[in-house]
Every structure is written in C-alpha cells, then in structure tokens.
A and B are shown apart, each in its own frame.
Chain A
C-alpha cells in the first residue's frame, strides 16, 4: 500500500485566496483525521471522520475552515479566505483500529 497520500506537498498562496488540501487515506481504514502542526501549538487535531461522517470538528479554528469526505477514499480541507496565520504543515492521517498512519503533510505558506 502507498500509505496516506496528500496533495499538494507545498502550497504558497496570497492572503484571501482559497486553499484546498487533499487526502487519500489507506484503503480499508475507516477513520480519517486532519491535523495542523505549528511551532507554537504542536500537532492539533482539526477534525476527524468515521465512516465518512464528521464526528468531531471542534478543533476547526473558525468558519473559514471546512472539511469534506465524499467517499471512503478522498477528503478535502478547504480554507477560504486564507490568512497568513494559517501558515503551517497540515497532516492527514487514517486508521483502522488504534494506530494512526500519517501522510507526508502539506506545507502551506500564506503571504
């Protein structure tokens, strides 16, 4: 298996633009997680899905952030409009039981 796949790996955009991050979880995994990593706050859970249904989105910072999982093999995290403080590395992870498997991350820079 290729593991969790994320795209793009790097994104540079200007403040106010829409950003869409994509994730393909490991086949057969029924849970998917979006995390954000910053120096100040470490790894923060933004939202997680179980069987494609959002279970907990309390970590989503504000209404500018939204996430969808239209099917078991694809999820998106969208930021609209983006702001410089959104600059971070965004990780997607999937799991079947207890262990989470992380993707390589998307490094986002908002100018």
Chain B
C-alpha cells in the first residue's frame, strides 16, 4: 500500500503558466516532506522541502504548500519554463522516532511546452 501517492502520472503546461503538482500521503507520522526533480538519464536531485510546522515554503519560482489536515501537499512552479520539464517525485519522512529515510511517490512527469 502506497503511503505517498502522486495520482497524476503526467502534466502538460504552457510556458509561462503555473504548474501544480499534487501529492497525498496516508501516514500521519510523516512530518517532513521533500520534492525531488529528475531529468532523463540522471538521478533525482533535491528541489525543496517543508516541515510540518509550516504550511508554505518558497524558493524562487518554486513553492510547496502543505495541508496537514487533508494530508496533501502541492508544488507550484511559477512561471513554468521548458527547462522545468522533468519527473517530480514527492517524498515524506517521519521524525522523530521514525525512520529518517523518505518514502517516495511514483512521480509526475511535467512537460512545459514553449
């Protein structure tokens, strides 16, 4: 049973518009969330994270929102650029007392059209 779910396997967006990638989780012990970005033929790279004590974290064009009551987080990319085309993995981790190893979703493939 997947504890971290990315229900949209793919997303297509026009350059300059907003990209919204969604992630749901089931384990209420998760309290730290991460997004990784993966280009073809490369390994995933860390993009942005958020602790459960916050509901928003922003880094340039990337913002992650966390809704703990709904067990939902989302990654917003504004404005989207063709170079953002990649697979985005949502991951969640339980601390303290749990494993610091993140559990990953299956990923969402984002395509940004020029």
Beta-carbon contacts under 8 Å, A48-104 to B: 48, 56, 91, 93, 98-104
Interface residue? A28 (CB, 8 A): no
Q: Say whether A93 contacts B43, CB under 8 Å.
A: yes
Is A110's beta carbon under 8 Å from chain B?
no
Counting chain A residues whose Cβ lies within 8 A of the other chain, the interface size class is: 10 to 19
Counting contact residues on chain B (CB < 8 A from A), the size range is: 20 to 34
Q: Report the Cα distance A33→B44, complex, angstroms.
A: 13
The answer to whether A98 touches B107, judged by C-beta atoms less than 8 angstroms apart, is no
Q: Select which of B32, B43, B101, B107 is within 8 A of A102 by beta carbon.
A: B43
Tell me whether chain A's interface is mostly helix, strand or loop, or mixed: strand
**Chain A: minimal CB distance from B1 (Å):** 12
CB B77 to nearest CB in A, in angstroms, measures: 20
> Which applies to chain B's interface (DSSP): helix, strand, loop or mixed?
loop
Chain A min CB distance to B114 (Å): 27
B43–A103 CB distance below 8 A:
yes
Please judge, given known A-B contacts A45-B101, A56-B99, whether A104 and B106 are in contact too, CB under 8 Å: no
Contacts of B36 in A (CB 8 A): 102
Query: Is A42 a contact of B106 with CB atoms below 8 Å?
Result: yes
Give CA–CA (A105, B38) in the complex, Å: 11
Answer whether residue B89 sits at the interface, using C-beta atoms and an 8 A cutoff: yes
B41, B49, B89, B100: the one within 8 Å of A43 (CB): B89
Q: Does B45 contact A (CB under 8 A)?
A: yes
**Which residues of chain B have C-beta atoms less than 8 A from A4's C-beta?**
43
What are 6 inter-chain pairs, A to B, with CB distance below 8 A?
A: A44-B104, A48-B101, A56-B101, A91-B43, A102-B36, A102-B44
- Chain B residues at the A interface, C-beta cutoff of 8 Å: 32, 34, 36, 41-46, 49, 89, 99-107
**Interface of A toward B, CB cutoff 8 Å:** 4, 33, 41-45, 48, 56, 91, 93, 98-105
